[in-house]
Structure 1
Amino acid sequence: MSESTEQVQTADHLWREFRQEPFPDSLRHVTFGGTDVWLIEFDIAGCVVRWLDNGGALDSENSILLQSRIEDLDRVIPEVDDPVGAQYCRQLRRLALLVSRPTRRCRQRR
């Protein structure tokens, strides 16, 4: 199995697990730096779905958005007082980081 295939499969598995978790009530009306936490999750989810649909690739616009949302989570996570909300944000960040890593495509030898 190629490294890129394994990365996509891992992300798909994490995405399926993540989708089973409800959005924590403690984060529903929380805003950090002028951005609602639910919007950070929404943007990351969109990027993850696009990445999975494209076999591990994101266009530059979505790559920039994803990186920006990872930075938002880096600021949000230390401020979340609720353990459930913090864990939810850490899982979201882990998934976003996996998707933001470039996949390595196998090259055929000539």
Structure 2
Amino acid sequence: MNASERDRLSRLWEEHMRTPFPANMRRREIEGEDMVYLDASIAVGVSSSLSEPFDEERRAALLSCLAAVEKVLPLIDDEGGANEHYERLRAMAALAVEIGNAGPR
């Protein structure tokens, strides 16, 4: 992974941390996915990828979350910025997986 991809992930992460969780996604499940849990799971994987080497277990968990967010994205309405929120989560998860694929830093 090059520095610009890492910088992009860092910027997306900072934006994510500043943005409130969409209220309409609390206590909501779409296609069997708990939307709060999905947000938190991706956040843990992204945060880990920015701070320490990525192991296979974390990479697999993040790939599972990436598949889940891609499954639910077409079903999310944009009320309260929910679509943008989960699009950003998808982008961060994909970049974090790429960081993990790049091996140790």
Tell me the TM-score normalised to structure 2 length: 0.85
8 A Cα contact 1:70 1:93, kept in partner: yes
CA RMSD of aligned residues (A): 2.0
Alignment equivalent of 2:4, drawn from 3, 6, 9? 6
Identify the residue that residue 23 of structure 1 maps to in structure 2.
Answer: 21
8 A Cα contact 1:50 1:58, kept in partner: yes
Larger Rg: 1
Identify the residue that residue 88 of structure 1 maps to in structure 2.
Answer: 85
Q: In proportion to residue count, which structure has more helix?
A: 2
Alignment equivalent of 1:66, drawn from 62, 66, 75? 62
Identify the residue that residue 53 of structure 1 maps to in structure 2.
Answer: 51
Q: Which runs of 5+ in 2 are unaligned?
A: none
Count of matched residue positions in the alignment of Structure 1 and Structure 2: 102
Runs of 4+ in 1 over 3 A off after TM superposition: none
Alignment equivalent of 1:97, drawn from 78, 94, 97? 94
